[in-house]
């Protein structure tokens, strides 16, 4: 191993990969009855209650009301960003599982019995792509530059 390489941690057989956590993330982020969605609704109700209480209370200074309104606006922006990040994570999970399914389909492998030769080739290509991206190349040129698979004639 050279100084520039990073040792990949042993994660066990492929069947013991991160699939359970991916499944959990997919169901949690995609389910409107999940804890995340319920917590978001509760926060929306709490914000509405606080805003209504401040509007009805004439003893609260305009400065305090403005500060609370800014906090509410900031909270909404953060909530929108969180929703966007959740959608991105779901899209990433779907993409990863799609590529993994295609990989197994076209390589003739199964998750329980991966080909050692193909796994080495995958690691080599992954390392080469990582090095090229780290050197500043854009991803389209990296993909165009990759040579044919060593496992294919």
Asked whether 112 and 14 are in contact (CB, 8 A), the reply is yes
33-71 pLDDT tens trace:
666 666 777 777 777 787 787 777 778 788 888 888 898
Q: Looking at the predicted structure, is the pLDDT value of residue 81 above 90?
A: yes
Distance CA 32, CA 36 (A): 8
- pLDDT for 79 equals 87
pTM beyond 0.75: the answer is no
Asked whether 112 and 104 are in contact (CB, 8 A), the reply is no
Retrieve residue 52's tokens. 């209504």
113 forms bridges with which residues in the sheet? 110
Q: Which residues contact 30 (CB under 8 A, 6 or more apart)?
A: 90
- Tell me if residue 110 falls in helix, strand or coil: strand
């Amino acid at each position: 191993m050279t100084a520039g390489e990073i040792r990949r941690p042993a994660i066990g057989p492929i069947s013991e990969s991160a699939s359970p956590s991916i499944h959990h993330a997919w169901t949690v982020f995609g389910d409107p009855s999940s804890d995340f969605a319920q917590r978001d609704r509760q926060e929306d109700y709490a914000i509405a209650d606080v805003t209504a209480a401040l509007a009805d209370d004439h003893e609260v200074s305009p400065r305090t009301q403005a500060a609370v309104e800014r906090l509410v606006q900031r909270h909404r922006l953060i909530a929108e960003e969180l929703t966007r990040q959740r959608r991105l994570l779901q899209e990433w999970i779907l993409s990863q599982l799609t590529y993994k399914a295609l990989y197994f389909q076209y390589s003739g492998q199964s998750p329980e019995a991966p080909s050692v030769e193909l796994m080495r080739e995958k690691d080599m290509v992954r390392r080469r792509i990582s090095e090229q991206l780290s050197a500043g190349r854009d991803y389209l040129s990296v993909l165009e530059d990759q040579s044919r698979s060593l496992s294919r004639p």
